[in-house]
Structure 1
Amino acid sequence: MPAATPASAEQPSLEEKAVPHPYVGMWVTADGQIRQELLANGRYDEARGTRQSAYQGRYAVRGTHIDYWDDTGFTADGTFVGDDELHHGGMIFFRRR
């Protein structure tokens, strides 16, 4: 009987599963207090006020819908409205170019 392969060896990493999409980059509320960076590797990093990396986790985009899984277990979602506007958690984010 062959030796068992660890589950982590059988599953691709986040980087291997990441599919490029047009929404990668920095998204900011109009007042600049909340800044959310969607990284190309399927991770996000959110800053609030002066608190850098207040929330971090992974995300997935399907069409114009985004799902978030915070590293602490919190989940959320949002919708991209056009190329430069994101509605998430009752807030509106704009792409920072």
Structure 2
Amino acid sequence: MPQHPYSGMWVTDDGQVRHELLPNGRYDEARGRRESAYQGRYEVRGTHIDYWDDTGFTADGDFVDENTLHHGGMILRRKL
């Protein structure tokens, strides 16, 4: 899978939710002190992202710009 420009770590402003978008199409989400709270696969099409959690849960989001992701009512920002 070719690496897309959105690979990397995305974090809410309070640091409580952290999405790591891995270049292999997998993601690892941490919540608070709970590392790897959710894991699964994702696909990016244009500026839209779809998530499929390993437990069967699905979600999606949209990249507003190269540093801002809107997902599930949250705003995540690229961690540089």
Query: Which bin holds the TM-score, normalised by the shorter protein?
Result: over 0.9
Return the alpha-carbon distance in structure 1 between the equivalents of residues 2 and 46 of structure 2: 12
Aligned: 1:65 with 2:48: yes
Give 4+ residue runs of structure 1 displaced > 2 Å after superposition: none
Aligned: 1:36 with 2:19: yes
Count of residues paired in the alignment = 80
- State the one-letter code of the partner of 1:84: N
Higher relative contact order (CA 8 A, sep 6+): 2
Report the 3-state secondary structure (helix = DSSP H, G, I; strand = E; otherwise coil) of the residue aligned with 1:79. strand
Higher helix share: 1
Q: Percent identity?
A: 75
- State the one-letter code of the partner of 1:73: G
Aligned to 2:37: 54
Task: Indicate the structure (1 or 2) with the bigger Cα radius of gyration.
Answer: 1
Mark the runs of 5 or more structure 2 residues left unpaired by the alignment: none
Higher strand share: 2
- State the one-letter code of the partner of 1:37: E
TM-score by length of 2: 0.98
